[in-house]
Chains A and B, each alone.
Chain A
């Protein structure tokens, strides 16, 4: 009997058995749940804010808007550029101080673009209220850029927002789960500003110092223009295309709405003059008419259903960007 083939077969069999001791790789299972679903982690949001304020510090020191890079854009860039122009022409005019220390950052839960990030700064001083800042990312290739800021209304408080684990849902301006819808609230508020404090729409909003100051300025300028045989008028428009809405924890909405305000002042048989600070922003030659152009931001809180309360402006700023004849 020839044993060699048998031994070879035995060896091969053993080798096959031994090599068959490993199961094939398993198939991948389902994707695990993400622990933090917000668009930005708190560290990412803090990094965005820190980079923004680093650029602002550098640009403020040089009064050069080009140093702001892509971290500041839109209305914020327009306003800051105007402030640098004023600061360069008037020695004691400094750009508005924006505190870099944040006491809260509200991140979005959005998976598509644009996405927003809102921040509330620490209180910069005894006589100043915290600043609400708005960053927007237009697409994946663009960084979050500071688009606007506004100081909080004295006595106002920011609503509770979703945690940074889940992020706050971004709503459309036509979102109907809140009443009034953000678009209706913005339009009604603008109508209230146009009509003045005697408007019946005044009862639809909580009192705020932004509207009061606008009305007071209107009264003063109207009186002055009348005394000079001229007239004063202002036009207020809401920029709904650049309005952003974040859901609040109570089911309401926090609306960031830019406003364009143009204040036209005219006199008769005279030539208007503007303060030295505004002179740097004058485009053209002033004669009997001057129009101050402002780019404002109002932050409007619409309470959630069943929570009661009126829509309220919690932050607003009035920024001069241009003066034209």
Chain B
């Protein structure tokens, strides 16, 4: 495989890598995502583990009227939520979908009572009497929070929209959002940050581009007839080599003169020399060996 062929192969490979890299780059997932969910209850609650959820950056609610968010000790939030209809945020099902479920207050610890009271009331309880409700439809809903606020540790207010950074919520505290007018909360958004595994895309594009350049260079060598330029170059070299006689005493002159070649005397071999063919030769005597050595040393 010639260098040019290798370059062409690299170019094709680079083109494929570049295309893959560019497509992947165009579909590169965003690091910041927003998952939203419509909350139909007046209250939403995020437990401490959700508030401390690693990808979560911000919690926002968009609804009607005044929206209030609080933090509280979990025990206090549970007690407050026990008499309210609420939606519990359980995290992110996918990066675009918020996990929710109806909030269920934890059952209180039951202490065994040694004296169960089996007494039934002997008095008949008054029969429930249906009474027409004087309230007309469409009347403003009853505000959710008319009770004490002593247990709320931190409070945020918003009109129509409320956004709270997760980092602003103290660790270990429960986060509660509710409307003041008691209506549905609205759209809850969780702003999250994820870590897409896209570190390979940029190197892929870079290496694809490099290989593609190599291939393009190889392709150019294939498409363009370079023989005229090659011939011109050879002629230039030959002209340069035939230009004038070398200077006397120069290395080139000495090389052309062969002065550096040693003179080697080519004496005829002596009559009693050892034959070249060992098979036909008589065994050498001991006094012949120094002669041969001696001749070799004269060279």
Q: Which residues of A contact B (CB under 8 A)?
A: 11, 14-15, 17-19, 21-37, 39-41, 44, 47-48, 111-113, 137, 139-144
Pair A140/B28 contact, Cβ less than 8 Å: no
24 A-B pairs with CB atoms under 8 Å apart are A15-B23, A18-B24, A18-B28, A18-B29, A18-B198, A18-B201, A21-B196, A21-B198, A22-B196, A23-B194, A25-B55, A25-B91, A25-B194, A26-B55, A28-B91, A31-B49, A31-B172, A34-B171, A34-B172, A39-B73, A41-B153, A48-B150, A111-B73, A140-B76
Contact of B27 among A15, A48, A111, A142 (CB under 8 A): A15
Contacts of B76 in A (CB 8 A): 39, 140
CA distance A22 to B199 in the complex (A): 11
* Inter-subunit contact B28/A35 (CB<8 Å): no
Count residues of chain B with CB under 8 A from any CB of chain A.
44
Provide the bound-state CA to CA distance between A18 and B172, in Å: 37
B189 interface residue (CB < 8 Å to A): no
**B148 within 8 A of partner (CB):** yes
- Chain B residues with CB under 8 Å of A27's CB are 91
Q: Is the CB–CB distance between A144 and B150 below 8 Å?
A: yes
**Cα–Cα distance between A14 and B95 once the two chains are bound (Å):** 21
Residues of chain A with a CB closer than 8 A to B59's CB: none
Contact of A143 with B91 at beta-carbon distance under 8 Å, contacts A18-B28, A25-B194, A32-B48 already known: no
If the complex has contacts A24-B94, A35-B171, A44-B153, are A141 and B75 also in contact, measured as CB distance less than 8 A? no
Q: A14-B20, A21-B29, A22-B95 are in contact. Are A33 and B150 (CB under 8 A)?
A: no
Which of A25, A32, A35, A40 has a CB less than 8 Å from the CB of B192? Answer: A25
Residue pair B49, A143 in contact (C-beta under 8 Å):
no
Query: Which of A14, A29, A36, A140 neighbours the largest number of chain B CB atoms within 10 Å of its CB?
Result: A140
8 Å CB contact of A137 from B148, B170, B173, B192:
B148
A19 contacts B27, C-beta separation under 8 Å: yes
Residues of B within 8 A of A140 (CB): 76, 79-80, 147-148, 151
Q: How far is the CA of A190 from the CA of B284 in the complex (A)?
A: 143
How close is B291's CB to chain A, nearest CB, in angstroms? 81
- The reply to whether the CB of B285 lies closer than 8 angstroms to some CB of chain A is no
Q: How far is it, in angstroms, between the C-alpha of A22 and the C-alpha of B73 when the chains are bound? A: 35
What residue of chain B has the Cβ atom nearest to residue A70's Cβ? B148
Cβ of B115 < 8 Å from any Cβ of A? no
Check B150 against A143 for contact (C-beta < 8 Å): yes
Contact of A22 with B197 in the complex, beta carbons under 8 Å: yes
Given A14-B23, A140-B76, check contact A30 B171 (CB 8 Å).
no
| Interface residue ranges of B24-79 to A (CB < 8 Å) | 24, 27-29, 47-50, 52-55, 73-76, 79
**Residue of A22, A30, A34, A113 with highest tally of chain B CB at under 10 A:** A22
A25 touches B93 (CB 8 A): yes
Question: Which residue of chain A is the closest to B83 with respect to CB atoms?
Answer: A141
A31 near B47 with CB under 8 A, answer yes
Known: A28-B53, A44-B150, A140-B80. A111 touches B48 (CB 8 A): no
Is B29's CB under 8 angstroms from A19's CB? yes
How far, in angstroms, from A11 to B29 measured CA to CA in the complex? 17
Query: Is B219 interfacial (CB 8 A cutoff)?
Result: no
Given contacts A34-B74, A34-B170, list 4 more A-B pairs with CB under 8 A. A22-B197, A32-B48, A39-B73, A140-B151
Q: Which chain B residues in 131-165 approach chain A with CB under 8 Å?
A: 147-151, 153
CB-CB under 8 A from A47, the residues of chain B are 150
Contact B75 A112 (CB under 8 A): yes
How long is the Cα–Cα vector from A223 to B59 in the complex, in angstroms? Answer: 74
Point out the residues of chain A lying under 8 angstroms from B52, CB to CB.
28-29, 31-32
Most chain B beta-carbon contacts within 10 A, residue among A11, A19, A28, A47:
A28
Once A140-B151, A141-B147 are accepted as A-B contacts, the answer to whether A33 and B171 lie under 8 Å apart by CB is yes
Give the distance in Å from the alpha carbon of A143 to the alpha carbon of B148 in the complex. Answer: 5
Contact of B92 with A by CB under 8 A: yes
Measured in the bound complex, the distance between the Cα atoms of B149 and A47 in whole Å is 11
- Evaluate contact between A22 and B79: CB separation under 8 angstroms: no
Closest B residue by C-beta to A112: B75
Please state if A14 and B73 are interface contacts (CB–CB under 8 Å): no
Q: Which residues of A contact B47 (CB under 8 A)?
A: 31
B74 neighbours in A (Cβ, 8 Å)? 31, 34
Expressed in whole angstroms, the Cα–Cα distance for A252 and B139 within the complex equals 55
The one of B29, B50, B153 in contact with A22, judged by C-beta atoms closer than 8 angstroms, is B29
Whole-angstrom CA separation of A26 from B201 in the bound complex: 24
Give complex CA distance A188, B24 in Å.
Answer: 83
| Complex interface: chain B residues within 8 A of A139 (CB) | 79
A33 to B92, CA, bound (A): 22
Q: Which residues of B contact A26 (CB under 8 A)?
A: 53-55
Which residues on the B side are within 8 Å of A37 (C-beta)? 73
Chain A residues, Cβ within 8 Å of B196: 21-22
Which A residues lie within 8 Å of B75 (CB)?
A: 111-112
B293 CB, min distance to chain A CBs, angstroms:
77
For B24, give its contact among A17, A24, A41, A112 (CB under 8 Å): A17
Determine the distance from Cα of A162 to Cα of B47 in the docked complex, in whole angstroms.
27
Min CB distance, B193 to chain A, in Å?
Answer: 11
